[in-house]
Structure 1
Amino acid sequence: MTLIDQAVTTREGEELDTAAIDRYMKQALPELAGTPKITQYPGGASNLTYRIDYGPRSFVLRRPPHGRIAKSAHDMLREARIMRALKPVYPYVPDIIALCDDHTVIGADFYIMERLEGIILRQNFPRELDLSEADTRKLCINVIDKLVDLHKVDYKAAGLDNIGKGEGYVKRQIDGWSDRFRKAITPDVGDFEAVMSWLQEKMPDDVATCIIHNDFRFDNVVLNPDNPFEIVGVLDWEMATLGDPLMDLGNSLAYWVQADDEGPFQMMRRQPTHQRGMLTRAEVVEYYQEKSGFKVDRFDFYEVYGLFRLAAIIQQIYYRFYHGQTQDKRFAGFGHACKYLEMRCQKLIDKSEL
């Protein structure tokens, strides 16, 4: 079925050693036979994700990107361990099959997980997915509900009380992302100093502490191909931690480009949130707060934070491209995107009544 998410030919410079992978896989799963076929998932701009096929059996391998990596970023083993612990209480997490910290295999930590066969919505709806406006709204709400469900997980009962520091999360994020942005700055982007100063001045106390995903988007959600309203998986748990749920929502809304947004933001759209029937950002905030019970009078701080954090992530990736540490041409325009996000943050700050 063409709706099912497909891997493609591995990008130049990001190939895996097939023989090394084959040896490792057969140590982990001795029943495997034959030579693996390795392809790469084209989505994502950070960690690298591959599909490994042994005949009808399919697996997914996740490894960090090449080049300079920010300290504490791209910790594949931590991601896999969180997924293992979360799976019993949040069933949308894929099963972890193996973890590898032996760099002689592929030169980096990696893990192997089950492949979830399904639809992943990227920039636009697939042509074969013919949804009415009402259907689109239903799908949108179902996806938001999975974020609400995650935030309601009892992290202590799940044994996940050690995955983050918890209280004080808001301040740590503003301090941390400000530091990371300054360390990744290049001469052709803005300095975001006014934005960072505003965030420091306006930061609220945490509204709660819960498990947060930190990258919850449509292209990290897997839909049942036989019933696209059903979510069968949530992917990319690298940045999951204990933190403030409204900060998590702010992160998600940084990617939520709606139909009436201006052109430069539309060019950054990575998910079909512009489709008729999708909730607007304001409607998402209202719906989420009603369902979760986590409420604030104004969401301005969290929206600006989400955009600034996205800019910092983009700038870290662009830094690697700017200095020739990756040749991935997708990253060539990230400097322009970062400059636009600074302007967008400033517009929101200028209108804010905080």
Structure 2
Amino acid sequence: MQNHDELVRPPVLGPALVAATGASGWASFDYRLIAGGKSNLTFELSSAAGELILRRPPSGNLLPSAHDMGRESRVQRALAGTQVPVPQVVLTDEGDLLGVPCYVMAKVEGHVIREELPAGYADDAAAKERIAGALVDTQSALHLIDPASIGMADFGRAEGFMARQVRRWTEQWDRSKTHDVAEMTELSQRLSTNTPTAQRVSIIHGDYRLDNCIMDSDDPGKVAAVLDWELSALGDPLADLALTLFYWLEESDEPFGITPSITRTPGFPGRDFVKARYAEQTGLDLSDLGYYQGFSAFKLAGIVQGINQRSKAGAMAGQDFGNLDDMVLHIARQGLELL
């Protein structure tokens, strides 16, 4: 096991876990890094008292508004007891324990599905449709929650959400682009002048897709937990749905290569299934969905360009993603078609 004691600080975290859980077994524990990279770090902690999950920011210099552990733990605490399953938060700390804000949550058993299904799991089309239905139903349940009813009315400024998002991602593109791309310029202009009015204010996940959920290991039609709430906010629920749809590749689609593409596997229902089920569950009008899908493409192209820029600058810890200019252009053109 690679030593990450400076990131986990077992002699400090152990006593805090004993106090938080009332279980003396947490005085000493083992750990392993189970997720890392561009986002927050996730460690599995194991002791005589059981297993827990630690979430903390990466090391190094951090942007002031990024990697907000308090935001993640707050939304999970608020959603506890709703129809949206989330891991129970055991401990939250502002920086006294590890030197950075962090939180510890219960470990939820189940399957995190990325590029392939576990052996013997959801082998037929009916089971794959149940996976899709469970994902849509859980996202719909999230969007139907009144934020004020769970103490989340102040979770963000929802008014003007889409206009701010377009400005933010236009600025992001302008900072990271290496050359002008006419399709991105056109996308930005069209998105800036045709912003739809949100039908409701919802808590949105910000990156809702299959591999950010844990599926019940016995029942493919049940989401055991929704993870990775770092991009959550109050906003327009159709922006959340549109990004989910953009990641929801069909068999004939070209994979992006930066996110899992399991939904291209034969047997998974297509995007029309997702849209129809979401509309049925929420009662929202999807006639403006093309705008939100166009924005999702604009946002994703900006993300890819940021990766492209950092890769070319040698700032990706030795990872070389090659030249992603063609992917940016492909996504931008797709965005114009969707818009």
- Of 29-38 and 88-97, deviating more is 29-38
| Partners of 1:256 and 1:271 within 8 A in 2 | yes
| Partners of 1:58 and 1:115 within 8 A in 2 | yes
| Partners of 1:86 and 1:158 within 8 A in 2 | yes
Match of 2:47 in 1: 54
Q: Are 2:297 and 1:294 aligned? A: no
CA 1:288/1:14 → structure 2, altered by over 3 Å: closer, same or farther?
farther
Q: Tell me by how many angstroms 1:254 deviates.
A: 2.5
CA 1:214/1:25 → structure 2, altered by over 3 Å: closer, same or farther?
same
Inter-partner Cα distance in structure 1 for 2:48 and 2:168: 45
Equivalent residue in structure 2 for 1:158, among 143, 150, 165: 150
Aligned ranges for residues 222-241 of structure 1 at < 5 Å? 222-241=214-233
Aligned ranges for residues 264-279 of structure 1 at < 5 Å? 265=255, 267-279=257-269
Q: Tell me by how many angstroms 1:333 deviates.
A: 1.4
| Partners of 2:130 and 2:220 within 8 A in 1 | no
Q: Are 2:259 and 1:253 aligned? A: no
- Of 204-213 and 283-292, deviating more is 283-292
Match of 1:333 in 2: 321
Aligned ranges for residues 58-97 of structure 1 at < 5 Å? 58-97=51-90
CA 1:235/1:133 → structure 2, altered by over 3 Å: closer, same or farther?
same
Match of 2:332 in 1: 345
Q: Tell me by how many angstroms 1:328 deviates.
A: 6.2
Which secondary structure does the structure 1 equivalent of 2:240 belong to?
A: helix
Q: Are 2:90 and 1:100 aligned? A: no
Structure 1 residue runs of 5 or longer lacking an equivalent are 1-8
Inter-partner Cα distance in structure 2 for 1:127 and 1:161: 43
Alignment-mate amino acid for residue 102 of structure 1: G
Q: Tell me by how many angstroms 1:88 deviates.
A: 2.8
| Partners of 1:90 and 1:150 within 8 A in 2 | yes
Q: Tell me by how many angstroms 1:269 deviates.
A: 4.2
CA 1:48/1:166 → structure 2, altered by over 3 Å: closer, same or farther?
same
Q: Are 2:198 and 1:206 aligned? A: yes
Which secondary structure does the structure 2 equivalent of 1:156 belong to?
A: helix
| Partners of 2:132 and 2:274 within 8 A in 1 | no
Which secondary structure does the structure 2 equivalent of 1:66 belong to?
A: coil
Alignment-mate amino acid for residue 303 of structure 1: Q
| Partners of 2:91 and 2:105 within 8 A in 1 | yes
TM-score of the superposed pair, with normalisation by structure 2: 0.87
CA deviations on 1:250-282 (whole Å, 9 max, x unpaired) are 1212221221012xx253441421122322223
CA deviations on 1:272-315 (whole Å, 9 max, x unpaired) are 21122322223322331232111132532211211222233444
CA deviations on 1:10-36 (whole Å, 9 max, x unpaired) are 698996344343344334345233531
Alignment-mate amino acid for residue 301 of structure 1: Y
Q: Are 2:138 and 1:127 aligned? A: no
Which secondary structure does the structure 2 equivalent of 1:120 belong to?
A: coil
CA 1:159/1:347 → structure 2, altered by over 3 Å: closer, same or farther?
closer
Inter-partner Cα distance in structure 2 for 1:239 and 1:342: 25
| Partners of 1:18 and 1:36 within 8 A in 2 | yes
Which secondary structure does the structure 2 equivalent of 1:166 belong to?
A: coil
Aligned ranges for residues 146-185 of structure 1 at < 5 Å? 146-183=138-175, 185=176
CA 1:285/1:341 → structure 2, altered by over 3 Å: closer, same or farther?
farther
CA 1:317/1:348 → structure 2, altered by over 3 Å: closer, same or farther?
closer
Which secondary structure does the structure 2 equivalent of 1:242 belong to?
A: strand
Alignment-mate amino acid for residue 248 of structure 1: D
Q: Tell me by how many angstroms 1:221 deviates.
A: 1.4
TM-score of the superposed pair, with normalisation by structure 1: 0.84
Match of 1:6 in 2: none
Alignment-mate amino acid for residue 299 of structure 1: L
| Partners of 2:35 and 2:43 within 8 A in 1 | no
Inter-partner Cα distance in structure 1 for 2:63 and 2:105: 25
Q: Tell me by how many angstroms 1:334 deviates.
A: 7.6
Inter-partner Cα distance in structure 1 for 2:199 and 2:37: 30
CA 1:198/1:161 → structure 2, altered by over 3 Å: closer, same or farther?
same
Inter-partner Cα distance in structure 2 for 1:102 and 1:274: 42
Inter-partner Cα distance in structure 2 for 1:11 and 1:314: 31
Equivalent residue in structure 1 for 2:134, among 137, 142, 159: 142
| Partners of 1:87 and 1:93 within 8 A in 2 | yes
Inter-partner Cα distance in structure 2 for 1:283 and 1:219: 19
CA 1:314/1:40 → structure 2, altered by over 3 Å: closer, same or farther?
farther
Structure 2 residue runs of 5 or longer lacking an equivalent are none
Q: Tell me by how many angstroms 1:177 deviates.
A: 2.1
Match of 1:281 in 2: 271
| Partners of 1:52 and 1:59 within 8 A in 2 | yes
| Partners of 2:311 and 2:322 within 8 A in 1 | no
- In percent, how many aligned pairs have the same letter? 27
